[in-house]
Amino acid sequence: MNKYFFPLVLFCLLAYSSQAQKMTPGIKGGLNITDVTGFNGDNRLSGHVGLFLNSRINARWSFQPEILYSGQGQQFPVSLRDDATLALSYIQVPLMFQFYPVRQFYVEFGPQIGFLLSANSKNNDDKAEIDEWFKKVDGAICFGAGIQATSMLGFYARYNAGIADISKNNNALLGNRDHYNRVGELGIAIKLK
């Protein structure tokens, strides 16, 4: 993992604790469109769901730490006629800074750390656990945009670009190369006031 990742996370937490003024909890969830670099095949469609705490720093800036369950992975061919699914499940902790150039629209960016819950290879009714092939911790840089439609309801799109190789020891079964998570998210956020 990049040596600057954890200092950046620490900086974000310190900025949050020293600047936050108004904190609003919420729930969010939606669609994931995911793949893993180094795999041939199609994207995997999955989902994410979780909690957030939106903290207004001033009229233009917010800080939003989150905790999410996220289904990730990739579809990949196992024969000319058959595909399998690499199904990765994570608990993700994004630390997002949001900038509002206008009142109801924001752009966001920030680091994310993920913790692998499970890794499976699925093909029809066959399922094999392959947790030992993947590292337990992942890191990403996230960026996106959103619309706050009402004081409670918002819509967002986000892209998570993995910055840490998720495979253990460039496993020969995974092709002896680095693998990074890539996740596009579309979702709905509800602030609980």
- Provide the 10 A C-beta neighbour count for residue 62: 22
Residue 166: the pLDDT is 92
> What are the structure tokens assigned to 83, written together?
């595909």
pLDDT band at 173 (very low <50, low <70, confident <90, very high): low
- β strands within the chain, DSSP E: 22-36, 44-56, 61-77, 83-102, 105-123, 126-129, 137-148, 153-162, 181-191
Yes or no: say if 113 and 99 are a contact pair by the CB < 8 Å rule. no
Full-model pTM: 0.83
Mean of per-residue pLDDT scores for the chain: 87
pLDDT at 143 over 70: yes
Q: What is the pLDDT of residues 59-118, one digit of tens each?
A: 899 999 999 999 999 988 776 667 788 999 999 999 999 999 998 999 999 999 999 999
Number of residues that make up the chain: 193
Yes or no: say if 167 and 134 are a contact pair by the CB < 8 Å rule. yes
Domains identified in the chain and CATH numbers:
5-191 (2.40.160.20)
Which runs of consecutive H residues, i.e. helices, occur in the chain? 5-19
CA distances from 68 to 7, 12, 94, 115 (A): 22, 18, 8, 10
